[in-house]
Chain A
C-alpha cells in the first residue's frame, strides 16, 4: 500500500506528531544517561541540568496532546492512521513519566553527592539505567519503523531490569542492617533503583502501544514479571 495520502497535509500532520514523539524520546534518553552519570560521578551540576531539562519534555508532551486533538478534529483519521494518532499521547505520557523519574534521580543525586558510596550500588544503578536506555532506544526505533517484532522483544527485556532491581534491593537492605548510618543513603539509592525499574515498566507499555499501532490488536498480558521487591523480607538474624 502506498504510504502517501491523497491530501498531502494529512501526511504532514501525522509526521509532525511522530517527530514530536521522537524528539521527546531523544531527550528522555539523554536525561536517563545524564541522571545515571551524575549519580555515579557525584556531579551536582549535571544533576541540576537534568532537573531543568525536564521542562522541555513536559512541554513536548503538551504539544503532542494538542497536535492529536487537532488531527482528530480536522482529519478524522481511520484504521492505521487512527491507531497511530491514539497511541501518540499514550507513548508521550509514558515518556513524560520516564523523564520525571530521571529528574527524581537527579534530585537524589544532589543529596547523595555529599555522602560516601555504598558498595557497588552506583555501578549496578548505572548498568540498570543502561539497560533501560537501550530498551527506550529500540522501542523508539520500533515505533518509527512500525516494527512489532522489535517492540515485543523490548517488552521481554524488562525482566532483566527487574532482576537487577531485586538484587540491589536485597543488597541495600543488608547494608542498612549492618550500619544504620547508611540508611539515609541507602534509601535514596533504593528509590533511585525503583525509579529505573518503573522506567522499564513504562518502556514496556510503549512497546505494547507500538504493537497495537502496527497490528491493531493488544499483546497478551503474560510477559514475565520479575519484580519481587514488594514481597521481599530479610530477617535481621539471617545476616549475623
Chain B
C-alpha cells in the first residue's frame, strides 16, 4: 500500500473525509499528496488559547507560506508541526497532526526522531559555536547516520552543496560557523537541517535578519529544495510569501481564515480579512 492509499484509508477510518474533501474543492491533483495534515488543532498556553480548530493540509514537495499579523498564531502553528511546543511550559495541543498519515502526537512518537524528519530553521541564524564542519556533522553523528569518517564527510559536503554554500566555505571548514556572514550562517543552518535527511523543513521567518541579496539566495535555495523537501515558511513579508510559495495560509486571531493557491490569495482572496491584511488596510 503506498502512502496516499494508506492515508486515504486512515482518513476514511477517522471520518475526516468530508471535511478534507471540502478543503480540496477546486484543488489540483498535486495538492492531494498531503505530507502533513492538521485537523482540529487547538493550542493553549496556560489559560490562553492561541489556535482555534485549525485544519490545514500541507502538500508534499512544495512550499507553503503561513502569513498573518503578529500574534495571529502562525509561529505557534509551525511549532506544532515538529512538537517544538512540547518544551514550552503550560503549552497544550489538542487535535491531530499527521505526517505521512501517522499522528505525530501519538505517545509512541519520539520527538527527537520526529525533529530529525521535520527540521527547523529559525529567524536568527543560530550556528553552534563550533567549526563549520562540526555544525553539519553533529546531527548525523547523534542520529548515527554515518558509519565511517568518510561517510560523514560526504554527508557534510552534500548538505553544504544542497544549501548552496559549499563553494563559499570549502576552504575553511574548520573555522567557526559563527564567523560567517548572516546570510551564510542561515544557509549553514539550512545545511545543518538537511544533514539529517529530513522530509520537511520548517522555516520561521528565515530571512527577516538578512539583507536583500542574502534573502534572494535563501529564496532561490527554497525553490531548489522544494524538489526534494516539503517546506513550510512563516514570513512577515507578503512579497516573499508570494515569491516563494505555491500555497498560502492566512491566520488571524488564532484562526486559519483562508488557505489556497498563492496566486489566488494575492489576486482574489475570498475573505475580507485576508483582503484587508494583504492590501495593507486597517482591518
Interface residues of A (CB under 8 A from B): 1-7, 10, 76-83, 216-217
Contact = CB atoms under 8 A, between A and B. Distances in A.
A2 B276 contact: yes
A217 B279 CA distance: 18
Given A76-B239, A78-B238, A216 B268 contact: yes
Given A6-B282, A78-B238, A1 B268 contact: no
8 contacts: A1-B275, A1-B281, A2-B276, A4-B282, A10-B280, A78-B278, A79-B275, A216-B267
Interface in B240-278: 242, 266-269, 272, 274-276, 278
Contacts of A82: 266-267
A78 B250 CA distance: 14
Interface residues of B, number: 17
Nearest to A86: B267
Contacts of B272: 1
A10 B281 CA distance: 10
Contacts of A216: 267-268
B283 interface: yes
B170 to A, nearest CB: 38
Contacts of B279: 5, 77-81
Nearest to A216: B268
Grouping DSSP codes into helix (H, G, I), strand (E, B) and loop, the B interface class, with mixed when no group exceeds half, is helix
Nearest to A78: B278
Residue among B238, B239, B282 with the most chain A CB within 10 A?
Answer: B282
Q: Give the 8 A-B CB pairs with smallest separation, nearest first.
A: A216-B268, A78-B278, A2-B282, A1-B272, A81-B279, A5-B280, A79-B275, A79-B279
Contact of B275 (A7, A10, A80, A217): A80
Given A1-B275, A1-B276, A2-B276, A79 B267 contact: yes
Residue among A2, A77, A79, A82 with the most chain B CB within 10 A?
Answer: A79
A34 to B, nearest CB: 40
A2 B283 contact: yes
Contacts of B274: 79
A21 to B, nearest CB: 19
A75 B266 CA distance: 14
Given A4-B281, A6-B282, A83-B267, 12 more contacts: A1-B272, A1-B275, A1-B276, A2-B276, A2-B281, A3-B281, A5-B282, A6-B281, A76-B239, A78-B278, A79-B275, A79-B279
A2 to B, nearest CB: 5
Residue among B238, B267, B283 with the most chain A CB within 10 A?
Answer: B267
B144 to A, nearest CB: 47
A82 B275 CA distance: 11
Interface string B215-239: 0000000000000000000000011
